[in-house]
Structure 1
Amino acid sequence: MGEVSRGARALVVCPDIRGQQHDLDADSRLAEACGLALAIGIVVVDASVVPVRQVKPGTLFGSGQVENIATACEQHEAELVVIDGALSPIQQRNLEEALRRKVIDRTGLILEIFGERAATAEGRLQVELAHLDYQQSRLVRSWTHLERQRGGFGFLGGPGETQIEADRRMIRQRMGRLRKELEQVRKTRALHRERRGRAPWPVIALVGYTNAGKSTLFNRLTGESVMAEDLLFATLDPTMRAIRLPGVEKAILSDTVGFISDLPTQLVAAFRATLEEVTGADVIVHVRDMANAAAAAQKAQVLGVLRDLGIAEGEGGESAIPIVEAWNKIDLLAAAERDRMIESARQDENTVPISAVTGEGVGALLARIDALLTAGAKVHEFVLPAARGQKIAWLHAHGQVLEDDVVDGGDEPKRRVRVRLTPKELGRFASLDS
């Protein structure tokens, strides 16, 4: 990887192809593409939407449009052209020859970001697999030595395989090994999820569109300093930390990778395991950037992915896991719009306006999460030997004790404790003797 150098001056072009459906309009897609470029340290010198009435198989754009892009490159001294769409290997090669500059498409750009951001072993495996999948169709591009042939073995050997065939074979073999390693990682993650389910600390997963403010909220709730910048894809690997809630002694907070529109196919498959972490959550907090004009379209994207994971139902439908919407960045709104949004949020108890930066509304968000996690709590009565002070102390620490009396236990004094516990807390109390 590492095909794009930091500080490179780039022209960003968003092709608006007639008849092609997108969740975001062309201007929002262009803004997102610029955000992606900035996330990898590219300097965006100019950005434009280019309408494409008919796709040209060789270059995507018409000849006049290619000339206009070339002129813009000269005017702005751009050394890189970012096309916010999918380019075939031939289109990429032809555009590079016509523009005399490196050209990278949306998939290649996101792969660059993923390659730089992935921190865990699993993240790196997923990135490499996605990158190899992307590269194997592009081996013809720019490497002339690949056309040479290797000789066959012995005097009777044929002409042998070309270098390009050998490289493709090596890529396929490497991809096979990576898939096996990833499968092992998935099994390990599933075991960890299963173990957490028995532990049983409740899990709260933060999800949302990229750059919605998940990591900033994560840092505020945990006191950690996870990378939280105003960049797309600042987080790529799930980060987990323990937090306390009023009615829950300990909960696990998980910060996940951001969602994005038109995620390239290779990346959807490669990053599925990262998103699967969400399926083991007890509560999902959907962090939304309410200062973004495309907030509604971004919500649809996130819910679409959650539906694919078997978690969320359609708009207004029941979800397999409770979802709280954290309407973030209200500090960036004008006063009138902010007041209107806060009033609107009052219509739904699972919608909480917040500012992860200032902390406004975060207390209300924690209270709502706490209420959902303790919703299934029931009152249980235990009669325990007074000598079992450790178990009695555990009930006081983890549950809401309603009564604690000394009762006649014959030879051995006993304590009768009436306590409200969630199903998970009850399961953990039962496991204390095991």
Structure 2
Amino acid sequence: MIETRKAISEKAVLIGLITQHQDEKQSEEYLDELEFLTLTAGGVAVKRFVQKLEKPNPKTFLGTGKLDDVKAYIETHNIGTAIFDDELSPAQLRNIERILDCKILDRTNLILDIFANRAQTSSAKAQVELAQYEYLLPRLTRMWTHLDKQKGGIGMRGPGETEIETDRRIIRDKITLLKKKLVAIDKQMAVQRKNRGKMVRVALVGYTNVGKSTLMNVVSKSEVFAENKLFATLDTTVRKVVIKNIPFLMTDTVGFIRKLPTQLVESFKSTLDEVREADLLLHVVDISHPNFEDHIASVNKILGEIDSVDKPTVMVFNKIDAYTHQTIDEDDLITEKTKAHYTLEDWKKTWMNDLQKESIFISALNKGNLEEFKETVYKEVRKIHIQRFPYNDFLYQEYTE
């Protein structure tokens, strides 16, 4: 069983690349996100190292000169952890650890560690544990020497912490058992979904930390855990909601993220089934985040992978209370207007105006535009509801008239 405990605050350096597929701006954005992930895991990022390469060095990720710079900084400032923004191969992990002689984590390991700490139910714990073992299996030899030297902290929650003698056969056995357990959980959750009857199902989807759980609490008047950290919610929460005269089920799902580990997408199949089986998606977006358009693209990519991108969808642009923009003086004839200068009204006139989907701008935290949100959701749910229960249509007409 995976052990979880509170991460101690530890200093870390962050390491990323500028490549032909990832320019300087993207690299900076990913490292910003990696820093937030580090904070969520209980660490603090004290320094960033970025190198421009056509592609990662297959042996050491960075070039040898840059790696020497990292080593010198780590030794001088007594840093215990180096976190890389991409998934490292087993060979890269071994080589880097030998050179830097400290704890080495990659983005995947860091996300898995956060998931291990956040998982509460048997289902979520099994899903995270499976993802961790699948990540661990090809890195087994490195991990045992690694765990011998390192005691606890970020990246150390999970399999192997108290079982140094575990070998590949035992790991494979554990993976097999966990997959069987998750098949049973999948069946149980499928029965639960079936037992909910024919009620319309609405799923909240979106990037991590966009306010889905806060919105769930406001709409369903429930107490779903929510905080300003990544992956605050892992376990699927379902609540019955009634707007006007129509009841429906609302589901809060795990947040997505760029470079989401493939192990997690697969192991969280039962959670993602809630999205697959939903009749309507509420795609929640943090419009106050400077990279919210990238977040939308990342979510749509994952929705595409689970055959859910074409479902009826309402775009919910949240956190309008936190939205800010740069201003241009009326007499300024030089400064070119960019997206950074857009007001919310400007945004509404862009591609958002051409969307083949309903869209609404709200503040879940301050309940801004909440009535308009409810009206939009009611209208979309009603469309599905009267298709399913056409004999009740006259009741809705009577109610709305």
What TM-score does the superposition give when structure 2 sets the normalisation length? 0.82
Q: Which runs of 5+ in 1 are unaligned?
A: 147-162, 313-318, 383-394, 403-418, 421-434
SS for the counterpart of 1:273 is helix
Q: Give the match for residue 117 of structure 2.
A: 116
Taking structure 1 as reference, are residues 363 and 66 closer, same or farther at Cα in structure 2, changes over 3 Å only?
same
Q: Give the match for residue 323 of structure 2.
A: 333
Q: CA deviation at 1:77?
A: 3.5
- Alignment pair present for 1:245 and 2:247: no
Q: Give the match for residue 275 of structure 2.
A: 278
Q: 1:131 and 1:202 mapped to 2: Cα distance?
A: 35
Q: Equivalent pairs: percent with the same residue?
A: 34
For the 8 Å contact 2:121–2:235, the answer to whether it is kept is yes
> Is the radius of gyration larger for structure 1 or structure 2?
1
Q: Deviations over 1:179-205 (max 9, x none)?
A: 111111111222222222xx2322211
Q: Deviations over 1:269-298 (max 9, x none)?
A: 112221111122121100011112221121
Q: Which runs of 5+ in 2 are unaligned?
A: 148-162, 326-341
For the 8 Å contact 2:60–2:92, the answer to whether it is kept is yes
Q: 2:72 and 2:188 mapped to 1: Cα distance?
A: 53
Q: Give the match for residue 355 of structure 1.
A: 363
- Alignment pair present for 1:134 and 2:132: no
Letter in 1 for 2:370: V
Letter in 2 for 1:340: D
Question: Structure 2 matches for 1:43-82, cutoff 5 A?
Answer: 43-82=44-83
SS for the counterpart of 1:326 is strand
What TM-score does the superposition give when structure 1 sets the normalisation length? 0.76
Aligned pairs, number: 363
Bigger mean CA deviation after superposition, 337-346 or 264-273: 337-346
Bigger mean CA deviation after superposition, 341-350 or 116-125: 341-350
Question: Structure 2 matches for 1:250-265, cutoff 5 A?
Answer: 250-265=247-262
Question: Structure 2 matches for 1:141-156, cutoff 5 A?
Answer: 141=142, 143=144
Question: Structure 2 matches for 1:24-423, cutoff 5 A?
Answer: 25-141=26-142, 143=144, 167-196=167-196, 199-248=197-246, 250-312=247-309, 319=310, 321-334=311-324, 337-342=343-348, 350-375=358-383, 377=386, 399-400=395-396, 402=398
SS for the counterpart of 1:242 is strand
Taking structure 1 as reference, are residues 63 and 381 closer, same or farther at Cα in structure 2, changes over 3 Å only?
closer
Greater strand share, 1 or 2? 1
Q: Give the match for residue 329 of structure 2.
A: none
For the 8 Å contact 2:361–2:369, the answer to whether it is kept is yes
Q: 1:145 and 1:115 mapped to 2: Cα distance?
A: 19
Q: CA deviation at 1:6?
A: 2.5
SS for the counterpart of 1:140 is helix
Letter in 2 for 1:27: E
Q: CA deviation at 1:119?
A: 1.6
For the 8 Å contact 2:216–2:222, the answer to whether it is kept is yes
SS for the counterpart of 2:138 is helix
Q: Give the match for residue 11 of structure 1.
A: 13
SS for the counterpart of 1:229 is coil
Bigger mean CA deviation after superposition, 1-10 or 272-281: 1-10
Structure number with greater CO (CA < 8 Å, separation at least 6) is 2
For the 8 Å contact 2:87–2:107, the answer to whether it is kept is yes
Q: 2:288 and 2:132 mapped to 1: Cα distance?
A: 33
Taking structure 1 as reference, are residues 372 and 53 closer, same or farther at Cα in structure 2, changes over 3 Å only?
closer
For the 8 Å contact 2:6–2:117, the answer to whether it is kept is no
Q: 1:190 and 1:6 mapped to 2: Cα distance?
A: 38
Q: Give the match for residue 152 of structure 2.
A: none
Q: 1:91 and 1:381 mapped to 2: Cα distance?
A: 60
Letter in 2 for 1:308: E
Taking structure 1 as reference, are residues 401 and 350 closer, same or farther at Cα in structure 2, changes over 3 Å only?
closer
Q: CA deviation at 1:401?
A: 7.7
Q: CA deviation at 1:112?
A: 0.2
Letter in 2 for 1:222: S
For the 8 Å contact 1:218–1:255, the answer to whether it is kept is yes
Q: CA deviation at 1:333?
A: 1.9
Q: CA deviation at 1:372?
A: 1.1
SS for the counterpart of 2:302 is helix
Q: CA deviation at 1:218?
A: 1.2
Q: 2:135 and 2:41 mapped to 1: Cα distance?
A: 19
Q: Deviations over 1:387-416 (max 9, x none)?
A: xxxxxxxx89x94484xxxxxxxxxxxxxx
Taking structure 1 as reference, are residues 223 and 49 closer, same or farther at Cα in structure 2, changes over 3 Å only?
farther
